[in-house]
Structure 1
Amino acid sequence: MSRRNAHQSSQDDDANTTGAGVTLLILSIAVPSISIAALFIYSFSGKAPGATALITGLMTSMSSAAAGAFLGFLFGVPRTLERKAKAGNKKSAMEVQIPAGAEQEFAPNTNLEQISDWLTKIIVGVGLIKIGTSGGPARRLIAVTSGGMGGGQAATTIAASLIITFTVWGFMNSYLLTYMKIPSAFRWAYGGIIKKIKERPEIDARAIEVVNRVLNPPWGTAPAPQDALDVKVREATEETRIWIFHIVRDVLSPPREEAKIRQTVPVLRALMKAVPDYHQYRGYLGIALATKSEPDWAEAEKMLTEAIEGRATPEEGWLNYEYQRVRCRINLQREREGIIQDLRILKERALNEFLRLLEDPDVKAWIESNQIDKDNLPVA
């Protein structure tokens, strides 16, 4: 019996809510419609300046509605209930220390609520103080508006009606919409943010797992395809991508393992696709292509050149780009001017690396065949 009564009560509440909503909808449409219709009749009744009176009335109505809507929004902004300390803890939420490793919770930004609260209090306070002297400004506003509508008692009445009606109409509609719709919009937006934040560890873990399958494929298991690797790396956070890059960079640092170098290429391609403007991803892809057991000299040169262009100036560092590009250009038999230019940069800014490069068999043979004086490189 009690369940039936509860169900009936719920149905009655829904019916009352629906009825109230329909009534408000009718009023929100009927009130401005009647006011605008009266304005049209007055404007073209022969006692007003026609279009001038109509435009003045419409602009006054819009301005009043906007002012009322702004106030309605300020008064209707909902308050966020801040989560207090856990049950049984007498400390306030601000005093609770989050233990290391515990899951942290995120609170929404409440600046809008605070501003709304401050402005509301200021408006109410100033309004109560100045309420006794507000009649003069209100009369001047009505007089100015009625003057644009032709003047006279009828114009004054119409002007006062439009200002009052649309201010109240704008306030009520804005207040109700803000009060009823903004909380759900906040919950939807905040819920989406929290969902993404909670999903980040799982997304990053999947990206690291796929990268690990590429760099260290289990015995008898095929490495992850490039498409899947691209998706996982792109979805990962920037911190995780940087961590992945550091792993790849360590693999490419001397002494290098030939088998590992080849496995870094798809990971660097995925990083480059995720962040195309970062020169290190392109540069180290070029290094991997140039140092693997079967070098791809043409693509390596292209990646290294793009990385050098994205690096800005040699003063920034990363001269290993020029180091490997010299090897690429010699094997591709490029023009000697470009090769000499890279050699000069290395000699001026990384002498040890320049001397090490001269021990490379291909570089050594090229210098001898072109009769280049390594101690006095010609100007390119």
Structure 2
Amino acid sequence: MQRRGIVTGAACAGTALLAVVLYAINQQHPLSVLGTALLIALAATAAGGLLGFLFGIPRARAGAPDEQPPDIRPRYDANTNLEQVSDWLTKILIGVGLVELTTLLRAGGRLVATIGPAVGDGAQGRVVAGAMLVFFTATGFVLGWLLTRVLLAPALSRADGAALAAFVAAEQAEEAGDRASAETLRAEGVRLIRQATAAAGRYEQVRRGPADPDRTAAMEALVAEAKASTAAGAWLPEQVRDLFREGRDGGRVFALALMEGEPALIDVACVLDAVGASRSAFEQYHALLVTEIAVPAMTPGEREATLRVIEAQTGPRGRIREGTGRRRVAERIRTAVTEVAR
């Protein structure tokens, strides 16, 4: 839903820019007017985007550490300075805005009167300038807020979760006098922060190459690397789910590989999304493998949803064709769901 909002906002901004171009064409100095109008649009979008970023910065979950058993409760938290600054600034902006609303409106009117002549003569220039400021500031705010929520929150979740678990284990090892293990665990925490992004980027780079057996082998090697990383037990289900939902092709495949390596990390909703709306045959194949692993632990509702997705994908309009490896896995899933339901 959030990604759809980003696409919708970008489409609205594109339509508005087209209107600006059509307006500039009919002016006496079209290139000058167009350049000035685009600068105003970019400035307004940037200002709105900054506000959206400040309002969209995610908050740490209050009380979450206390809900964990004492032996694994983190002894320290991630640095939240950015969150605190965001909180202070948003409160200041809202407070000042409410108190000085009349002053702000007058200042806005003076701004429109100042930049209006740059985009047109008389009342027409002021109307266009005012409309641009309002529209592009609002659009920038919405896009800034959505992008912050979609991209920043999952990234912070992964970094704070898997890495923090390794750092806490390192602290426990050092308290027990095992400094060598503590250093190893700290290095593991740093590695986990970088691992997901690096592996996803390598997958996307490999996938851009020619479709041949070498490319498939390289992608399978990356999947095997991700599956092997689950042996340390550092990944949490919510981190894997966030990684999948970020939407990057590499991140989705990396998350599926983690689920394939550790069944406790499986999120059925994400897996069925990868089967029914896969970005590639490779992604769909591994999503099917994860689905097959997940069948015994599925709820009745999840089994029904799985059968619906399999039926749709093996039907005339589906992507799972006869004679393919994906078709064989799909048939095994269908059989397993039927047997478990008996």
Structure richer in helix, relative to its length = 2
Q: Which interval holds the TM-score relative to the shorter structure?
A: 0.3 to 0.5
TM-score normalised by length of structure 1? 0.42
- Report the structure number with the largest CA radius of gyration: 1
TM-score normalised by length of structure 2? 0.47
Q: Whose relative contact order is higher, 1 or 2, with alpha carbons under 8 Å and at least 6 apart?
A: 2
